[in-house]
């Protein structure tokens, strides 16, 4: 299944794949997939639970490159820093793996704007390499960070956003409109938190809003998931949207969002905002 998914993605023009130590408990997609010339861009994430020390970042990336049979990754990401590791050590470690040819750039994942700015300042102070990208959750119901906090960094120091969970763990797919199906992710014991979120009062309100968004998707000739992914892509600070798919049909549907993107006019976006009623307001919005 993994090989089929990656083949479809590659043939559809996708040239960036995301992997990390924690995905599938450290078990990566079959090495043969990575070794067939499918990959032009790979991003890799260091596991926060084991710390972001220089030793872990360097040894972790070396081990992953060996398992994946890759000479380097395009971007190496660091999950949110722990309080025990100085920022200078993290920046020096990332600068080292880039200087050694193990990565081309480095980025952050789930860092606050203040932490990203600190890393940038440390890099500039000691003539090291600053982060270029932040991995952040972004979807119709999660907007504050990408739309208010990151734009300042985007315009000031050029940090872009690589967003994840465009369908909010499947909530925006529409399959939870009438409860939690037995075959869904939310029905699994390990996803009890997701089930509770869906059946909560806020979760029911979200499903009502999704039903109100359906006529817009129908008018644009797309599905609700395609509308949601295109909505994420239309943000100027979003460099790419990471998709998680479990079957070919889902992947093909999500990739169709590219065709919807040109239809995301300011009028359509305003229609969506009027339904969601959760648009965060930045200082710029307030002054205007």
Residues that are catalytic: 23
Tokens of 199: 């059946």
Structure-token match 């009062």, residue found: 201
**CB of 106 closer than 8 Å to CB of 77:** yes
**Residue 159: closest CA among 134, 137, 125, 138:** 134
- Residue 41: beta bridge partners? 16
**CB of 98 closer than 8 Å to CB of 44:** no
User: From residue 174, how far is each of 15, 90, 195, 210, 214 by CA, in Å?
Assistant: 28, 41, 14, 7, 9
DSSP SS3 for 77: strand
User: From residue 65, how far is each of 42, 45, 68, 103 by CA, in Å?
Assistant: 11, 12, 5, 10
């Amino acid at each position: 299944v993994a090989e089929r998914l990656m083949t479809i993605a590659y043939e559809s023009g996708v040239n960036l794949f995301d992997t990390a130590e924690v995905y599938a408990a450290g078990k990566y997609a079959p090495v043969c997939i990575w070794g067939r010339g499918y990959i032009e861009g790979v991003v890799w994430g260091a596991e926060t639970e084991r710390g972001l020390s220089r030793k872990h970042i360097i040894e972790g990336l070396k081990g992953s490159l060996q398992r994946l049979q890759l000479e380097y990754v395009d971007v190496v990401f660091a999950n949110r820093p722990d309080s025990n590791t100085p920022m200078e050590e993290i920046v020096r470690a990332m600068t080292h793996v880039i200087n050694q040819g193990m990565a081309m750039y480095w980025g952050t994942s789930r860092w606050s704007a203040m932490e990203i700015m600190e890393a940038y300042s440390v890099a500039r102070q000691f003539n090291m390499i600053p982060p270029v990208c932040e991995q952040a959750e972004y979807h119709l119901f999660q907007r504050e960070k990408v739309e208010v906090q990151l734009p300042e960094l985007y315009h000031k120091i050029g940090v872009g956003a690589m967003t994840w969970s465009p369908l909010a763990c499947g909530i925006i797919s529409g399959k939870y409109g009438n409860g939690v199906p037995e075959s869904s992710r939310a029905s699994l014991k390990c996803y009890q938190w997701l089930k509770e979120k869906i059946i909560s009062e806020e979760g029911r309100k979200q499903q009502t809003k999704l039903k109100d968004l359906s006529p817009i998707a129908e008018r644009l000739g797309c599905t609700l998931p395609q509308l949601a992914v295109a909505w994420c892509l239309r943000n100027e600070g979003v460099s790419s949207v990471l998709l998680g798919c479990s079957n070919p049909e889902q992947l093909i549907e999500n990739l169709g969002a590219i065709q919807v993107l040109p239809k995301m006019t300011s009028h359509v976006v305003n229609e969506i905002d009027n339904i969601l009623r959760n648009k965060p307001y930045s200082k710029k919005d307030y002054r205007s």
